[in-house]
Structure 1
């Protein structure tokens, strides 16, 4: 069954239309906006009936890939290329999370407040100025996932800001390290704030889960976040893949390792928003104790952080003990299991038989064999809808 490609209105999710494609690819990574590319032929009479130039307007329409009713990937169309000689148009889209790179964290009043009022005299010292408190976005007593929700809801409340996003219930928190304050004069992008929040230790994963509306006439996106008790977004799905079995459903198995992020000492600097200098240094002797040379990391991208504990959390998150290891393989999209039975974030078991060269079983790279628990961190496919490429990272207990 070929992948189904549809377009819809970005602000409402309405006007769902199937669109024939010549070729297409989709990629759904964990905690990151999906990416899609689809090529259509303007010489195709079916495409012409859809008025493709207006039906696929960039930044106004959604492109989505579906397998039956299973939503694979989708979000705003940001790029489009017309090739007259070939008679084709190529559409480039990203997941709904990408909208955060085009919106700022500002209260609704910023839409009409005079720009000369963004900075006001300091009431305690008339010789100084301060950011206007009316433009401040501050949250206390809330779980980080709920703060992300509130930031998005604030953006949607602007005139023209509506989007077809559904939200989870609020979750409170007594951890003051979760409190967040963003001054309007920071002009901070929502996308950066989401990424920063998901990367702190214990921070929530996020996902804009696309789905068909109940009336099947449009698309909506459920903004999912991990909870305080379970920051990961996962299900109870228990999928087992047998790599070395006869007629294994797995092909093109690969293992990639990247050690460039290893660090025993991590540095962070901050404090710019309060005219102070904050420095954090976090250390972990695990690598050096194991015979590795001392390796360091430095990050100055969080200069607006004003709390030492927050900066310490960033630095601690940069400590990395093991190379990033990614397993990948191809599987039949409609085999056993089928793509409808698992999603990015779910845990899987990859079974490898003990290696026996004479009997030609097992795998020489994993001579002892065994059951390897891995987490699905990405899946991708094409317009053909026959094979899905899966990417896995070690389960947390193996990190």
Structure 2
């Protein structure tokens, strides 16, 4: 088992060339973009025979890192830098979230975009997220395509209206929905399709992402865990939040939400473009639920080929750690969610986890 890198067409995921690289630090993060960097040695005998200027074209090409023939990270090329003295080409890459920040959720068939609107109702918040992404990839031309596999639509009581005059950015709308009380998590899993000539695709997951459960015993002689770190951060703590929506001066839509009895008080404004008081309140309550206590984050390393291989990891999954006789971590079982994992071309993979219910 080993790492390998393929270059694919960004718009359809078709494989173009296997690419030898000397470094590829990468990062997968729940609900936000994960970045990467690829170093290519242009004096390498294999690389020198390739059409590397075409293979590294920004935006048109995506690099896919695989372990044991399973995709682990996909990064759209956004920049490249040639170093003549070093004989290297360095690519700056980022996953599909970077593209969502450059797409608008609009009715592209409207004559007057500013006067148009998109409305969905009777759906789950997770399905609303999928609809928003789809709106950003509606087809004026094939240039707008990306190989996204969408989840099935589920019904419930959630609704959203996007107004053209707000020119809503897909990533911003997703962030607002995810931040709402009871809001979903969103992940785009890099994956090869089935078949003899697989293509690359982004498989969208949305909802209460809980796939996967993995366990390590920190007290074991060979725990498989290295470099464990624990951090508690109160810089974003909020106990009284004023949600601010659309409007100006005394007519601004707003809602105050408060949590008492915590032994401290910190007040913040939670801004959005929402136009209904109920939506502003839900968005504000979601922020308060996340940040009313200090953020707690853990990090540790595992081996890509360990008893939990890197290809088994799923963002949002359950990480169970057993502790004993540690000077900081209490004895017993600690249950967390996987919110981040990262690595390079070596065997070490770093996990970022948070307690269930934490930020």
The TM-score, its normalising length taken from structure 1, stands at 0.84
Matched, 1:183 2:183: no
Which deviates further from its counterpart, 275-284 or 370-379?
275-284
Pick aligned residue for 1:167 from 125, 142, 150 = 150
1:280 aligns with 2:293: no
Structure 2 alignment gaps of length 5 or more: none
Partner of 1:29: 29
CA distance in 2, matches of 1:149, 1:395: 24
The match for 1:224 is 205
Provide the aligned C-alpha RMSD in A: 1.9
1:313-372 Cα distance to aligned partner (Å, 9 max, x none): 12112222321111111111111122233322110210112x2xxxxxxx1113x51111
- Output one character per residue of 1:49-92: Cα deviation in whole Å (capped at 9) or x when no partner: 33111111111111121111332211311121111111111111
Structure 1's consecutive aligned runs of 4 or more residues displaced over 6 angstroms after TM superposition are: none
Q: 1:375 maps to which residue?
A: 337
Supply the distance in 2 between the matched residues of 1:7 and 1:150 (Cα, whole angstroms): 29
Specify the alignment match of 2:179 in structure 1: 199
Residue 157 of structure 1: aligned partner: 139
| Aligned mate of 2:191, from 196, 211, 220 | 211
Q: Give the aligned partner of residue 351 of structure 1.
A: 322
Aligned to 2:15, the other structure's residue is in SS state coil
Larger Rg: 1
Secondary structure in structure 1 of the residue aligned to 2:178: helix
Counterpart of 1:7 in structure 2 is 7
Contact kept, 8 Å, 1:156 with 1:163, in 2: the verdict is no
Q: TM-score, normalised by structure 2?
A: 0.93
> Aligned pair count?
353
Counterpart among 277, 282, 299 of residue 313 in structure 1: 282
Match in the other structure for 1:139: 120
User: Equivalents in 2 of 1:4, 1:30: separation in Å?
Assistant: 24
The structural deviation recorded for 1:40 is 0.3
Q: C-alpha displacement at 1:144, in angstroms?
A: 2.1
SS in 2 for 1:50: coil
What's the counterpart of residue 46 of structure 2? 46
Instruction: Tell me, yes or no, if the aligned pair for 2:132 and 2:174 is still in contact at 8 Å.
Output: no
Extract unaligned runs of 5+ from structure 1.
119-130, 227-231, 356-362
Whole-angstrom CA distance in 2 between matches of 1:341 and 1:370: 25
